[in-house]
Amino acid sequence: MEQNIIYTLEVIAEVVYVLTKVYQVSREEASNAIQIFLRAKNIVCSSGAITVKALQLFANNHLDFVDNVLLAYHQIQGIEIYSYDRKLMNAIRRGDEGKTSI
């Protein structure tokens, strides 16, 4: 019997960090590799849509992954985000879908 693997956004954030900072994998390659892994049928997360959106945004802008998680929550669930991070707030105001030059 196949067991489910449960992951959290915190785990994905750590994987993103290790791939991009320690192993120097490009943002796009890291995002694509993680998304392929997450499509496996036994991979489970309660915030899967947020994770995938954050990975897509991360591949296409210069915000860090956690900021892209916040941007994804804003875009998908309409959650109001308040931050002193100007780059993040500018991305939210512009309604960025990922193609940014932040």
For 10-68, the pLDDT digits (tens) are: 999 999 999 999 999 999 999 999 999 999 999 998 899 999 999 999 999 999 999 99
Mean pLDDT of the chain: 92
SS3 53: helix
Closest alpha carbon to 11 in 48, 40, 41? 48
pLDDT recorded at residue 28: 98
Q: Above 70 in pLDDT, residue 97?
A: no
* Domain residue ranges of the chain, discontinuous segments joined by +: 5-94
